[in-house]
Amino acid sequence: MTESLLFFDTDCLSAFLWVNQENLLEQLYCGRIVIPAEVYKELSIPTIPHLKAKVDLMLKNGIARKASIQTETKEYHLYRKLVTASDSGHVIIGDGEAAAIALAKVYNGILVSNNLKDILVYVHEFSLQHKTTGTILKEALEAGLITEVFGNQLWQGMLKKRRKLGFLTFSDYLKNESQ
């Protein structure tokens, strides 16, 4: 059985890039990480060239791959629907989120995003598998790649870079997950 591809949104990928822990993604998911072209574009803004450089290295080393959405494909039509809110009751979401959702849906992959406010309705509507920074850190903990103490340090570093993680600490996240 082949393992599912993981389609990353900007928020979750950048959380690891900001704290210099893209190596955790490599150790857990090497070769399965997909960065939509729209996410790559969001990480290519001139004010954060170091994040783009890290992504470029991940792509060069085969840790991740970039995916473009071609016009007139299933993923293109879904992407357009998500960024224009053409269905009643749906809000317009960002390009990176929409691309990650569309690709995960069409290719039966896993959506990786922290922005639950914008994406949760689509996770349910499309029955998507979903991971967040918290789930990834928990997997790293269970794999022995980090300790809970180090997970808390990473969490604090991510919060300092204004990543929205839903809990004040990694320990709080773990307590919530065990309930």
Residue by residue, pLDDT tens for the chain (179 residues) are: 468 999 999 999 999 999 999 999 999 999 999 999 999 999 999 899 999 999 999 999 999 999 999 999 999 999 999 998 766 667 788 999 999 999 999 999 999 999 888 888 899 999 999 999 999 999 999 999 999 999 999 999 999 999 989 899 999 999 998 87
- Report in angstroms the alpha-carbon separations of 152 from 20, 29, 64, 162: 15, 21, 26, 15
Q: Is residue 140 part of a domain?
A: yes
**Based on the domain organization, do 32 and 68 belong to the same domain?**
yes
DSSP for residue 7: E
Residue with tokens 């967040």: 132
Q: Is residue 1 part of a domain?
A: no
In angstroms, how far is CA 3 from the centroid of its own chain?
17
DSSP for residue 86: -
Q: Is the pTM of this model over 0.85?
A: yes
Q: Say how many domains are in the chain.
A: 2
The boundaries of the domain holding residue 161 are 134-178
Please give the pLDDT value at position 74.
95
**Based on the domain organization, do 174 and 118 belong to the same domain?**
no
Q: How far is 177 from 51, CA to CA, in rounded Å?
A: 30
